[in-house]
Amino acid sequence: MPVEIGKVVEGTVTGITNFGAFIQLPQGKTGLCHISEVADDYVKNIHTYLKEQQKVMVKVIAIDGNGKISLSIRQAQEKPPKKSNQPMQIDWQKKNADAGLSFEDKLLKFLKDSDEKQQQLKKNMKDSRRGNGYNRKDAMR
Q: Verify that 18 and 66 share a domain, yes or no.
A: yes
Tell whether 12 and 70 lie within a shared domain: yes
CA–CA distances in Å: residue 38 to residues 14, 77, 94, 96 = 15, 10, 49, 53
Q: What is the pLDDT confidence band of residue 44, given thresholds at 50, 70 and 90?
A: very high
pTM > 0.85: yes or no: no
What CATH number is associated with residue 51?
2.40.50.140
Q: Is residue 55 very low, low, confident or very high in pLDDT (cuts 50, 70, 90)?
A: very high
- Beta pairing partners, 115: none
pLDDT digits (tens, 9 = 90+) for 73-122: 999 987 777 777 777 777 766 666 677 788 899 899 999 999 999 999 98
Question: Is the domain of 67 the same as that of 21?
Answer: yes
**pLDDT recorded at residue 10:** 94
Please, are residues 23 and 30 in contact by the beta-carbon 8 Å criterion? yes
Buried b (16+ CB within 10 A) or exposed e, 83-107: eeeeeeeeeeeeeeeeeeeeeeeee
